[in-house]
Amino acid sequence: MQRMFLAAFVAATLLWPAGCSEDYVPAPRPKTTPRAEKPSASEPTPLPVPATAESSPAEPSEPAAVPESKPVEQPAVEQPAPVAPPPLAPPRTIITDRHSIELATGVALPQTGPEGTMMMFSVEYEFVLGEPNPKSGYVWVIERAKGAPVKQAVRLSKKKTLYTAVQRWRPENGPFQSHIEDRDGKRLSASIDML
């Protein structure tokens, strides 16, 4: 193509003087069919775009489902079985014959009798453990500071006051104390001061 244009240019240059006369009739130009220009090497050839289906408007994509994480099972640790505390034992009550009777309000008063001065005694008692046994014999013992004590057999109920008088005893024979024991001499109460 370039060569054809070049040849036409040269011919026009050479024939220009001849064409300047009045009788000159220009020769008709040969008809040429236009050809598609070849793409230059510098311009990149556009790649064909593959026909795609008509895309719908963008829809909000749903979040990807996250797989539920299963709780990690911890290895079962065998725990010791709870040990029940031992049952509380009731407070131990030491039952002794000595403390089965309680004495209170011991009184010692001098009195004047037919034979002179004598001592009057009284004391309150109460069974705090058990009950009095009517078949058992009880003895009320009254002691003085010096000399033999006086022992008097008595019948006891659950709670009462004992009275007695001792001839030929004087206040100076004191201090006095008393307690209760059985017929075998076993004490059933503590000693109490007779004041």
State the residue for tokens 């054809």. Answer: 4
Strand order in the sheet with 116-127: 101-113, 116-127, 159-166
User: Is 141 in contact with 125 (CB distance < 8 Å)?
Assistant: no
- Asked if pLDDT for residue 195 goes beyond 90, the answer is yes
pLDDT > 90 in the chain, percent: 44
Q: Which fold has domain 97-194?
A: Immunoglobulin-like (2.60.40)
Query: What number is the average pLDDT over the span 53-65?
Result: 50
Q: Is 5 helix (H, G, I), strand (E, B) or coil?
A: helix
pLDDT for 98 beyond 50 = no
Q: Is the pLDDT of residue 38 over 90?
A: no
Q: Greater confidence, 188 or 65?
A: 188
